[in-house]
Structure 1
Amino acid sequence: MRSGRSQTLAWKIPLFDTDFGAEEEEALIAVIRRGWVSAGPETQEFEREFSEFLGGPEVVFLSSGTASIHLALASVGIGPGDEVIAPAFTYIATCSPVLWLGARLRLADSASLKNPNISPETVEGLVNERTKAIIFLHYAGFSEGIAEMARFCEERGIALIEDAAHTHGSVSGGRKPGTFGKVGCFSFFANKNMTSGEGGALVTFDKQLAERARRMASHGRTAAAWDRFRDSALKTYDITEMGYNYKATDMQAALARVQLRKLPEANRKRVELVRLYRELLSDIPGLVIPFDDYESSANYIFPIVLPEEVGRLSVMESLADAGIQTSVHYPAVHTFTYYRKLFPELRLPVAEELASRELSLPLYPHMGEDKVRFVAEKLSEILRTQGRN
């Protein structure tokens, strides 16, 4: 946090830190003074600006990234009897909406330790006549394999849903992630490259799908509250299908608009910090740094895969003793208690190895090179010590 109030007092170097300042405060005050704080004109302006940023798709601003995945699946007609393939190495929100809709979840392995994304090769054996959608996570902000996955889905008539929660501002083959598939799903949670505190967005070039998603986000109504407020001819509304309450607010949109303006420079700083991290950690035996094309990535997190013989918990505790916060992104979905009931025999060796060896190091735009050097130095020292024991 940049305004003098730290949310991370316990850490010398936190895993992430928000970048809120006078611009965000002024934007929120303007919405409060306008008097309309739920979804309204500010939301519409953010949707327009985010559409321009992504290259012109329809944008529906929502209450969370999870809501965007749920509505994406619902909008393409996923329901009981259908199957949806998703990565096992992801946050649980990628997968749970599949089950909410009564469909069968099929979990795919990651391509490799170097490429934690799923690939056509890891999903091909799961595809059958009931497969209606594949969810592709751009892990850590990297889009390796997305073009191949888009072709794979198009050839088979499968809806490609992009979980773009990590990838604000990435570029892949001249295109912005979130625009390769049928629907793209973004998150604006507090630790994302741009944030509205909570929030998400559904993006698609299919106008009818976007209109349906917009209705479903507001209880299935044909006219939202702001539409009826500004248009006196809209006296009432109809409910045309089952819907949810997934609307975001103009307060969130005000934050998101400022954060979107800051995003290109913030991502540029992330690239520089990641470049330094990679340089400083490149000679550690057995350590894997996923992906290579970091210059076109959003670099949402900086994940490393620890050497096989190293105990991750011990490394995390030693870094914590030095005031460095770390995390794990992610446990494999099928290893959670609830999901073990659904997948009692499932073994996905790459995802499981990533889940046991991955460690996320601190990364945020105003972190500074001195902190990167400190983290890299401490990590190298800890790994050398563990290697001797």
Structure 2
Amino acid sequence: MQIPFNKPYLTGKEAHYLYQAVQSGQLSGNGQFTKACQSFFENRYGFHKCLLTTSCTDALEMSALLLNIQPGDEVIMPSYTFVSTANAFVLRGAIIRFVDSQAQHPNLDPQAILPLINEKTKALVLVHYAGMACPMQEIMALCQKYQIALVEDAAQAIDGYYQGQPLGSFGQLACFSFHETKNIIAGEGGLLAINDPKLAQRAEIIWEKGTNRAAFFRGEVDKYGWVDLGSSFLPSETVAAFLFAQLEELDLIQNARKERWNRYFEALLPLAQKGLIELPNIPEHSSNNAHLFYLICRSLDERTALIQALRAVGVHAVFHYLPLHASPFYGPKHDGRKLPQAQRYADRLLRLPLFFELQAQEQQFIIDQIFQFFKLDRT
């Protein structure tokens, strides 16, 4: 049996909408499917303005431009995240101040933020790891008190909520991913949600290579030109067409993923109760969008052995991030603080296969193999 870590799910409408996009004669972006995807997010989640991007990385880079990050500005963010979270701001010359994770969850520790704030602090970028909400009340209070811009890296957090409020609606800016490993996919793709109305007009200019081209096509100006910084952040209409087919089936996809997530959790609970593993902790303030299912082993060696044991029987389980504060690139620039929780998750966290078409018998096989590894009888 071969069980991949991820398998992209097709709803069945992708090819039809791709054909429609091709037949429309407009393959460049900002056509009917781009507008439909943007409207979906604005209407469903109440974001002020949404712009589709070629990736979540691009949405983060747009955020750094919109916040006028300058060389020497400091940006606070978790160490336990993907490199794009930091790269977007490093490209503008920012100094990154990394925050450790919580002991009970890979999300950043809000208690570790305050000591890093000073007169150079320009922004805080949080990551909703596994689609589960950071402690927003504490974070929002800090940002408001010290007048720090807040950016949500919501790459994993589509359809996630904090106390009933959609993730992506708290920060001035929020960034989503539609990479093929995410719940909703477009192969590659992303979205920038702009919740601060003062940033909306400039966001559209940056999105259109620094021009007011979008305003021109709406008839708001009689010609367009180069008016600001920008780049080619706008994806093609074919990407948007594929994405829209996925968005139409969001609830179906989410329900299927949650069912599989819950099956893992319930089945593996006896291992956690015996102290052999740790299972995901869903904070009381957070929903669970079933982006990924992880377990935490007792040591790096044990995780390595479990990955090897699963691969030996055709199950592709993987670890996740290496902490950015200790990376070859930024390690020499880090201020030297130890971030033990970020390192613990880097060493011990293991992700299991989770995708729409994962069959119950395949999932049971994975569960059985884990029990065998820990030499525990499920009966």
Instruction: Answer whether TM exceeds 0.5 for this pair.
Output: yes
Report the alpha carbon displacement of residue 22 of structure 1 after superposing the two structures with TM: 2.7
Give the counterpart letter for 2:280 in structure 1.
Answer: P
Q: Cα deviations across residues 35-76 of structure 1 (Å, max 9, x unaligned)?
A: 101112221121111211212421011111011111112212
Moved more, 354-363 or 374-383: 374-383
**Match in the other structure for 1:208:** 198
**Match in the other structure for 1:237:** 224
Q: How many residues align?
A: 371
Q: Quick one: structure 1 residues 383 and 209, their matched pair in 2 at CA, closer, same or farther if it must change by over 3 Å? A: same
**Match in the other structure for 2:266:** 279
**Match in the other structure for 1:360:** 351
Q: Quick one: structure 1 residues 309 and 97, their matched pair in 2 at CA, closer, same or farther if it must change by over 3 Å? A: closer
For residues 118 and 254 of structure 2, the distance between their equivalents in structure 1, rounded to whole angstroms, comes to 39
**Match in the other structure for 1:7:** none
Q: Quick one: structure 1 residues 189 and 203, their matched pair in 2 at CA, closer, same or farther if it must change by over 3 Å? A: same
Give the counterpart letter for 2:92 in structure 1.
Answer: L
The gaps in structure 1 that reach 5 residues or longer are 1-10
Where 1:197 maps in the other structure, the secondary structure is: coil
2:145 to 152, 155, 173: 155
**Match in the other structure for 1:70:** 61
Question: What is the TM-score when the length of structure 1 is the normalising length?
Answer: 0.90
2:95 to 69, 89, 104: 104
Q: Cα deviations across residues 249-296 of structure 1 (Å, max 9, x unaligned)?
A: 111111111111111121112111111111111122231112225992
**Match in the other structure for 1:50:** 41
Give the counterpart letter for 2:238 in structure 1.
Answer: M
1:127 to 114, 117, 133: 117
Where 2:330 maps in the other structure, the secondary structure is: helix
Q: Is the 8 A contact 1:147 1:180 kept in 2?
A: no
Give the counterpart letter for 1:368 in structure 2.
Answer: Q
Q: Quick one: structure 1 residues 221 and 24, their matched pair in 2 at CA, closer, same or farther if it must change by over 3 Å? A: same
Where 1:282 maps in the other structure, the secondary structure is: helix
Where 1:135 maps in the other structure, the secondary structure is: strand
For residues 303 and 124 of structure 1, the distance between their equivalents in structure 2, rounded to whole angstroms, comes to 29
**Match in the other structure for 1:14:** 4
1:372 equivalent in alignment to 2:363:
yes
Give the counterpart letter for 2:171 in structure 1.
Answer: G
1:117 equivalent in alignment to 2:107:
yes
Give the counterpart letter for 1:200 in structure 2.
Answer: G
Q: Cα deviations across residues 88-130 of structure 1 (Å, max 9, x unaligned)?
A: 0011111111110011111100011x21111320211111111
Report the alpha carbon displacement of residue 145 of structure 1 after superposing the two structures with TM: 1.0
1:305 equivalent in alignment to 2:296:
yes
Structure 1 runs of 4+ with >4 Å offset: 227-231
Report the alpha carbon displacement of residue 230 of structure 1 after superposing the two structures with TM: 7.3
Moved more, 67-76 or 349-358: 67-76
2:208 to 207, 210, 218: 218
Q: Is the 8 A contact 1:111 1:122 kept in 2?
A: no
Give the counterpart letter for 2:306 in structure 1.
Answer: V
Q: Is the 8 A contact 1:12 1:323 kept in 2?
A: yes
Q: Cα deviations across residues 339-364 of structure 1 (Å, max 9, x unaligned)?
A: 22222734210100110001000001
Q: Is the 8 A contact 2:97 2:334 kept in 1?
A: no
Report the alpha carbon displacement of residue 211 of structure 1 after superposing the two structures with TM: 1.9
**Match in the other structure for 2:324:** 333
Moved more, 235-244 or 192-201: 235-244
1:384 equivalent in alignment to 2:375:
yes
Q: Cα deviations across residues 236-255 of structure 1 (Å, max 9, x unaligned)?
A: 31211121111111111111
For residues 286 and 189 of structure 1, the distance between their equivalents in structure 2, rounded to whole angstroms, comes to 33
Moved more, 196-205 or 366-375: 366-375
Q: Is the 8 A contact 1:271 1:299 kept in 2?
A: yes
Give the counterpart letter for 1:263 in structure 2.
Answer: L
For residues 33 and 288 of structure 1, the distance between their equivalents in structure 2, rounded to whole angstroms, comes to 51
Where 1:26 maps in the other structure, the secondary structure is: helix
Give the counterpart letter for 2:312 in structure 1.
Answer: D
Give the counterpart letter for 2:234 in structure 1.
Answer: K
1:25 equivalent in alignment to 2:15:
yes
Report the alpha carbon displacement of residue 310 of structure 1 after superposing the two structures with TM: 4.6
Q: Is the 8 A contact 2:60 2:175 kept in 1?
A: yes
Give the counterpart letter for 2:343 in structure 1.
Answer: E
Report the alpha carbon displacement of residue 366 of structure 1 after superposing the two structures with TM: 2.2
Give the counterpart letter for 1:239 in structure 2.
Answer: W
Q: Cα deviations across residues 17-38 of structure 1 (Å, max 9, x unaligned)?
A: 1111431110100000111011
For residues 69 and 229 of structure 1, the distance between their equivalents in structure 2, rounded to whole angstroms, comes to 26
Q: Is the 8 A contact 1:120 1:152 kept in 2?
A: no
CA RMSD of aligned residues (A): 2.0
Q: Is the 8 A contact 2:178 2:189 kept in 1?
A: yes
1:349 equivalent in alignment to 2:340:
yes
Where 1:276 maps in the other structure, the secondary structure is: helix
Q: Is the 8 A contact 2:45 2:169 kept in 1?
A: yes
For residues 96 and 103 of structure 1, the distance between their equivalents in structure 2, rounded to whole angstroms, comes to 9
The gaps in structure 2 that reach 5 residues or longer are none
Q: What percentage of aligned pairs have identical amino acids?
A: 28
